[in-house]
Structure formats: structure tokens, C-alpha cells
A and B are shown apart, each in its own frame.
Chain A
């Protein structure tokens, strides 16, 4: 008994050490970022390094904002995010409903195509899309970044929502059907309210994907007045590539909104991943 208990204690100690080490590895880079963002350049280069900045230099942030118009880039990015998130949530839930609940010819073929397209590297479609959008006169606008989200919102999201719809008992829509409700009503009155958490997950994912997107804005946006936060950060790097205290402050600026959104929605996000991960 006692040996068993001892072994168990040793095991749990090991588990906690592993978890704490993992947590430290996850957090330390972020801490290092924040720490460096409040230091002067000379403080950063002190050896051995200081863990806590003294004095705190808020001016790095003022400087970051004054060099690159991050305020404007926040707004630009927010504009894209609103377009993308609403498009994704609306159209992916519509499509997912069709895939999960309705019987129609070609359903399985189309679904298989969508799933297969997750394997397709973005690089394959990048150039034709780029050429296409440019010829249509939409280069240097937000259209190529937003419009595709209004066409299904990506295979991954459709798949995720479909899985969620499948877990809702069919009896619910069938009884509504008997009561004379049409497809649209069933979708709006029954499935949408019941799948709100899943919709939030999709919204969160597309928010983060969109906020973090680099290559898309990089190739489509050429006027700096249209830049997103990621591009702004990149521009900042170009101008201050060795002034680490400023770069860290600028990175922190780019990071804040996602962190805030994450903490608001983290419960849903993690549930959402759980949902897609295993049940494929």
C-alpha cells in the first residue's frame, strides 16, 4: 500500500514538474517580450539580464504608435475582421446545415471535395487568385481578403459546424417539420440557437486567422494607408530592425487584441478544437 502510494506520489510529482515546465516554456517568451518592451535599449543589453525593467519605459509604446500608425491599422484590420467573421459564420453555418441535415444529390461528392481541399496548399491557388483579383481591379482593396469568406468560409469551418449539427437530435427538426415549419425556419429557430457555442468558435477561429494573416495582406495591399497590424509590424521591423525594445513594444501592440479576444472566448475555442479534433 505505502509503496503504491509512494509511487503514485512520485508519479504525480513528475507530472506536475512536466506541466510546470511546459507552462514556463509557454509563458516565458511572452514574459520576455513584455519585459523587453518596457526597457531602454541599453537596459536590454545588460549582462546578466534583468528580469524586471526598472524604470518602466512607457515611451517605447508611444514611440511605436508614433512611428507606425497602429491606431489606423487596428481599424483597418478590424474592418477586414468584421467582413470575414460575419461572412464565415453566416455562410459556413448555412452550408453545414445542408451537409448535416438535408438529403440532396451531389452532397457527398461536394463534401468530399471540400474535405480534400484542406490538403491543397494555399500556394497552388495563390497566383491565379492574385492574377484574377488584380485583373478585376481589386488589388489594393480589401475585397480579395473579405469576399472569399462569404463563400462558405472555408472547408474547416463547414466541417466543424457539420460535426456539431450532427450531435443535435434529429427528432427536434422532425417534430418541427411535422408542425409545418420549413427548412429555413428549422435552421433559424432550432439549429442556430442550439449551435450558438459552435458558431462562436467558428467566429473566434476566423477572427484569429484573419488578425494573424500575413501573406494575404502582404500580396494584396500596396498602399500603406490600407495596411493591417501584421503588415504594420513588418514595416516597423524594416525601420527599426535592431532596436529590440521598440520592436518588442510594437509586437505587444499587435498581440493585445487577440489576447483579449482569446480570454473572452477561450472556453469556446478550446471546446471547438476538441470537437473537430477527434470526431473526424
Chain B
């Protein structure tokens, strides 16, 4: 399976979306997932940049709540018309809730990647991991926005 953004794909600077949103209150993984922290619970989704690269999300496969995951482990699959991509957990912990709405309506990943289009929530087992994720500034630098 291909990674979330095919490294063989080149997009020209003016067609990348300069306007990709990178909210200031989130942390980011290099593999284009975001994390919103509230106490020891992390909400996880994929970034605006990632959904723009994928376009046309037609299917989201979510894990079962209760599963224990390690950072870097595949936790979901998002499918665009063109390809299937793994979503990796940015943090370790237990999945305490999944977003059924995004499974029912995968287009939410495209229309509301930071809100209704989120994937799941994880209760952190190692809060230090979340602190080590990319800052909005670093992620912005990574995607060249």
C-alpha cells in the first residue's frame, strides 16, 4: 500500500495549495496526520494538505474502539478514487472512540479535515510523544506552504 502521499508525485509550487490550512492549536506528524490534545486524549485526523493531495476520498476504514496502538502503527485506511493509503497513529495509547460519521460519509475528510472529518480519539499512554510531534510552523515548512 502506498503511503498517504505518493513520494513519486510531484506537484508544482503554484498548484500546491498555498492556502493549505495548518491550524495553530494542533500538532502534526511527518506522515500528514494531525493531533488535537485535550488532557490525555488525542483526536486524530489527516491534514488539509493531505486531503488536497488525495482528493476525492471515497472510503475510510476505521479500527475497532478499544484497540491499543503504538505510535507509527497503521490505524486506518483512507481510499481515494486512485489509491489506498495507510493512516499511522501519531501517538501510542488506546483507541477510545472512532468517528462513525466519517466512515458513513468519507467526503468529510475533504470538506472538514480538522472537524467532522477527523478519524478517532486515543487515550495517550505516553504524553511525551505528543510533545515531540511537529509544531504548526515545522509542518508548514515540511509541506512548503
A binds B: no
Q: Which residues of B are in contact with A by a Cβ distance under 8 Å?
A: none
